[in-house]
Amino acid sequence: MKKTKIFIDKTLVIAETDDRLFSSFIEHLGRAVYTGIYEPGHAAADEQGFRTDVINLVRELGVDMVRYPGGNFISGYNWRDGIGPRSQRPKKLDLAWHSIESNQIGIDEFYDWTKKTNTRIMGAVNMGTGTPKEAGELLEYCNFPGNTALSDLRRQNGHEQPYDIKTWCIGNEMDGPWQICHLEADEYGKKARETAKILKWIDKNVELVVCGSATSIMPSYPEWDRTVLEYTYDNVDYLSLHRYYENYGNDEDFLASFVDMNRFIKTVTGTVDYVKAQKRSRKTVNLSFDEWNVWYQQNQKEHDWMEAPEILEDRYSLLDALVFAGLGITLINNCDRVKIACLAQLVNVIAPIFTMKGGSVIKQTIFYPFKDISSNARGTALQPIIKTDTIETCYGASPVITAAAVVDRSGKSLHVFCLNTSKTDVHSVDLDMSTFGSLHFTKWQELSGSDLNARNTFEKPDAVVPHLNSTAECDASGKNGMFTVNIRPLSWNVLTFDI
């Protein structure tokens, strides 16, 4: 059996995790909105046509903010198409996803949906075909109390009270040539700065996210980030990061995705702090990792113009869930700078929740690690020190065991999240948590299995679910906070201790 040592010191604090670290994303894309969250006529639809079976799962998942309405979609979207009487809303071509947008859901209905799901909106303004003026008009419509034409229009449309949307993205992936009206870094930097000024003049309480690199493999990364921040540093609060991982055939490389994500975060943090130093600024811009997930982009197919096409409908395996869990650990361990993170996306489109049109809904495998962190990682994140084997991967040396530790907000429980990426080896993990004094082991939940390709389906919705590790070989005496636990190969574990 292999040996690993994890030292968790209660004084080695990274930061408090921000609730917005457990956010997600709904884009007008594929079946995320239509036949995803909204399906009038469905047996589970409420009076507004929202699927209550989906609402219940979003609540169970414990999502904080939901980024809306894009994504690439935002760069061609006119928000005015989605307000007012539904019968008068125009059908439009969505050039981002080669689809037809019916506009039956817009900002007003989506706001109602967030109330039903106990979530809140992370807004986005159009920096492709849109102007700074139009961005300001959307904010005025949403957040201004009343007695202006736009705020009164919202009231006429049924919402007397402002939406008070606090966090806004200034466009989406503007470095990407695929973006509608893509901009060069200087062009975007200037446009984003002027938009930010307008938005903060309209509502001084908003927090703004400026577009960083669309992924770390863009040729312009990280120069794009530096240039954009040089224009906007004083006007914005967060820089965005996006990153998706997929399996190109080597499971070890795929399992090491978290190593790459960690490096990406550290490099972007360095870039932000470089601009901070250059500007002699006392303000710190933090990070918004507002798109992260596993996504099989190689499987994307062409499709005809249609409403709600079945696109980006990845069906996740146990292996995908383990990779995903490693990314979750990395976000927790970087919570001093990553304040916002959005699992992209939430329903049907590369999502933890998957619906059948007219039928039932299932939890995909990635549902479980997200739920584990959203329900157990709110509190004080501690920096674990890990001594374990490494394996060589396309991302360099990757630790076989990776972990995060969070003391919950009551100060009464310590949660240890631990991923074993070895395909073959049980790791006997010595957990040294002696700075806590004696601890009481209470629960060990594990996601693992013999079939890495196992997936949840409508026929077998519970093929991959976590289980309590009742046979856990855990030296549970907890004397002086020392435990030894045997962590199975290819397993995701959440261990809970009473303090």
Q: Which residues are catalytic?
A: 173, 291
How many residues belong to the chain? 499
Q: Least separation, in Å, of the C-beta of 301 and ligand AHR? A: 15
Q: Least separation, in Å, of the C-beta of 291 and ligand AHR? A: 6
Q: Least separation, in Å, of the C-beta of 264 and ligand AHR? A: 15
Nearest residue to the partner ligand AHR, using Cβ: 71
Q: Least separation, in Å, of the C-beta of 228 and ligand AHR? A: 16
Q: Least separation, in Å, of the C-beta of 128 and ligand AHR? A: 12
Nearer to ligand AHR by Cβ, of 176 and 379: the residue is 176
d(CA 446, CA 491): 7
Nearer to ligand AHR by Cβ, of 244 and 395: the residue is 244
Sheet hosting strand 467-468, strand order edge to edge? 13-16, 379-382, 401-408, 413-420, 491-498, 440-447, 467-468
Question: Can you say whether the dihedral through the CA atoms of 222, 225, 229, 231 is positive or negative?
Answer: positive
- Do residues 230 and 248 lie in contact, with contact meaning Cβ atoms separated by under 8 Å? no
Nearer to ligand AHR by Cβ, of 297 and 442: the residue is 297
- Do residues 456 and 362 lie in contact, with contact meaning Cβ atoms separated by under 8 Å? yes
Per-residue burial over 291-321, b = 16 or more CB atoms within 10 Å of its CB, e = otherwise = bbbbbbeeeeeeeeeeebbebbebebbbbbb
d(CA 329, CA 258): 8
Nearer to ligand AHR by Cβ, of 208 and 416: the residue is 208
Nearer to ligand AHR by Cβ, of 8 and 74: the residue is 74
Residue type, 393: T
**Which residues are near ligand AHR by CB under 6 A?**
27, 70-72, 172-173, 291, 344-345
Separate counts of helices (H) and strands (E) for the chain: 10, 25
Return contacts of 144-148, CB within 8 angstroms, 24+ apart: 144/202, 144/203
Cis amide prior to 298 (ω within 30 degrees):
no
